[in-house]
Structure 1
Amino acid sequence: MLQVVLFDLDGTLLPMDHRKFMNEYLKELSLFVRPVIEPDAFKQALMASTSAMAANNSLVFTNEEVFWKDFENHLGERLPSIRPLLELFYAEKFRQLSYVAHPCQEARILVKAAMERNLRIALATNPLFPLTAILSRMSWAGVDDFPWNLITSYEVMHFCKPHPGYYREIAAHLGVRPEECLMVGNNVDEDLVAGTLGMKTYLVTDCLLGDPAGICRADWHGSIQRLAWLWENQGFPGESRVKL
């Protein structure tokens, strides 16, 4: 029996051009810390430590702890000067990147529909960012005011997508079995991994990422508009595949 709906954020609840978002984000962030470190050197260190965080395979350290430990290895004595700048950027400057996103009304419809069916909701974004940055993007999507049962920020998670441990950890946090969860996401490679653990999956195809041939691995697939219509008019998808 379905108990929890996991919603991906970027490209799912928040339609966006992922490449444009990353380009603008890295540009603005590297310029913000330029008084302390040359932008290209900073970006190289940031991407290396992000990769280290994504590769984490242990419950001993959170993603946040892995990131900052590796970041210190790259930046050394400059870290104490850079860390407060990063925190200030996420608290104040990051929200100004909203122009890269294209919010849609269906995001609120989907989350509200899940809550009206007494389902718990988890914001299952890849936990590479601090909570402040995730809350900003949730506000762009218009879903930040819902009572989320879990938001997978880098402060609380120990794995990243597409590691199966990421989905196991969400289920453990919420005290449910994977079979009691539905994952809604737009990334073939990262979001459909949930299905290997027994979670049902709906692949949102509007901002599809990954090999399109992998669509067949989803239990259902289609546009976010199609899913919103189904949830409003017919309830949650049944056993038949949803098509565009």
Structure 2
Amino acid sequence: MFPQFFGLKYNPFGKELDISDTYESNDIKEFKSRFKYIQSSRGIFLLMGEPGTGKSTALRNVTAGLNPGLYKPCYFTLSTVTVMDFYRGLLMALGEIPANRKVTMFHQIQQAISSLYYDQKITPVIMLDEIQLVSNGILEDIRLLFSFKMDSENPFVLILAGQPQIRNKLGLSVNSPLKQRISIKHIMQGLKKDEIEDYLATRLKVAGALENIFTPAAAEAIYSVSKGIPRLVNNLATASLP
């Protein structure tokens, strides 16, 4: 009941926050800067971070600002999928109806990407989340799927997002060809200690608070426990309110 007690429109530390009101931490700013680079160069971007560090928020933030006339965002989470599930899910994210055979779906995916980029002048921005969970077989298929014109062009932006364990898989010799094609990386670090107080105040203000509820000492305590991981910061802030 604390939103009513403090005159808030909603829980400022819940998921109701509009993406346009995302707190611009140094971490988010650095990610956006690197995303701008991959927009112009195209190719493969590796986004890593521990759970709760803000990977999904960062992806939502940049895709919300994409011009729909120039970019087509396609998001697909890869948790425990088979190779065939991966092909079907990617095709549906691209707006296509999957065929029954893998070889046909392979050509469907490449044709859909080529049609968007070369015919419609729209760059597909494909985000594959939870990449650390996939098999080496899927990683190899990703490399093959996103090889165009004998690997001479990149008519796409591909973001591989997941937890840091993906580095172990990419370190395997079998995945070396895919690792070599990754042109830019970013590791989400969470909030810095000197950002916590401003983060809390900003989230409260967006929800309608007229004054800051958290003292500097409270903000420091929240950082000490959370280590700046946004999800933990939000949980602790919510638990701290009556």
TM-score range, shorter-chain basis? 0.3 to 0.5
TM-score, with length taken from structure 1: 0.33
TM-score, with length taken from structure 2: 0.33
| Larger Rg belongs to | 2
